[in-house]
Amino acid sequence: MSSNDDLNDDEAVFARGGEFIDRDAFGPPAWCALERSLDVIGTRSAMMLVREAFYGGRRFDELVRRTGLAETVAAQRLKQLVAEGLMEQRPYREPGARTRKEHVLTDRGRDLFPVVVALVRWGRALDGERRGVDLVHADCGALLSPAVHCEAGHEVSLDETVAWLVRDPDLPKAAAEELGQGR
């Protein structure tokens, strides 16, 4: 297919609900949570720094060395990650040296854990190679796998997903009622 205009409604990946059924009624998605997320972590350099923070990297020189990023790029991206609340700076001092700052994940940064798991698994599936790092459960050694659940705890598949325009704090209730599954 050459464009999204060629898609029929029954070929869309997500079903659309509520006001969002008429997709063309809304302009560029300045309200899109995915777009906002990509503004924060959507660069290769940001995700490499986040990866290294999950692996325990904290100090600027080790983050630069382990990512292969230029110092200027790493400094700029770390500044952004701190400003967005994904990392925080903490002072440290080696004996006989000046005080420096290390970068550690905040709770907001640790919230990216399922995203990191999903990207690792997806990246592994790209070429099927068995090199690099696997993420496994410490208790049993099984590979971690991402899953999508609703807030009620149900595992949700792609064909059970509805995209709903968020304008109302009662959204989940309204969505369930419109879909015939009132609670």
Which pair of tokens denotes residue 6?
A: 């060629």
> Are 47 and 101 in the same domain?
yes
Judge whether 90 lies within some domain. yes
Is the domain of 123 the same as that of 170?
Answer: yes
Question: Which contiguous run of DSSP H or E holds residue 127?
Answer: helix 113-127
> How many whole angstroms from its chain centre is CA 25?
27
* Residue 137 Ramachandran class (φ > 0 left, ψ -120 to 50 alpha, else beta): beta
Q: Tell me the per-residue pLDDT of 96-144, one tens digit each, with 9 for 90 and over.
A: 999 999 999 999 999 999 999 999 999 888 877 677 888 999 999 999 9
Within-domain flag for 183:
no
Of the three residues 59, 85, 106, the one that is the final residue of a domain is 106
- Residue 32: inside a domain: no
Q: Kindly state whether residues 92 and 128 are assigned to the same domain.
A: no
| Residue 120 and residue 144 in one domain | yes
Same domain, 85 and 129: no
Long-range CB contact pairs, 17-24, < 8 A, 24+: 17/162, 17/163, 17/164, 17/175, 17/178, 17/179, 18/164, 18/165, 18/174, 18/175, 18/178, 19/165, 19/167, 20/163, 20/164, 20/165
Distance CA 128, CA 149 (A): 26
Instruction: Give me the number of domains the chain comprises.
Output: 2
pLDDT of residue 18: 77
Question: Are the C-beta atoms of 105 and 54 separated by less than 8 Å?
Answer: yes
- What pLDDT, on a 0 to 100 scale, did the predictor assign at position 19? 75
Of 106, 121, 156, which residue constitutes the final position of a domain? 106
Residues 94 and 118 in one domain: no
pLDDT digits (tens, 9 = 90+) for 38-80: 999 999 999 999 999 999 999 999 999 999 999 999 999 999 9
The CATH number for 91's domain is 1.10.10.10
* Residue 5 within a domain: no
**Pairing state between β 15-17 and 99-105:** unpaired
Residues 67, 59: Cα–Cα separation, whole Å: 12
Q: Is 63 exposed, middle or buried (0-12, 13-18, 19+ CB in 10 A)?
A: buried
Q: Are residues 116 and 170 in the same domain?
A: yes
Q: Is residue 58 part of a domain?
A: yes
In angstroms, the first-to-last Cα distance of the chain is: 39
In a domain? residue 132:
yes
Rounded average pLDDT over 146-163: 90
Asked if the structure places residue 141 within a domain, the reply is yes
What residues make up the domain containing 116?
112-176
Q: Which of 61, 81, 106 is the C-terminal boundary of a domain?
A: 106
Element (H, E) at 87: strand 87-93
Distance, CA of 159 to CA of 14 (rounded, Å): 7
Same domain, 67 and 96: yes
Cβ atoms of residues 67 and 54 within 8 Å: no
Q: Are residues 124 and 96 in the same domain?
A: no
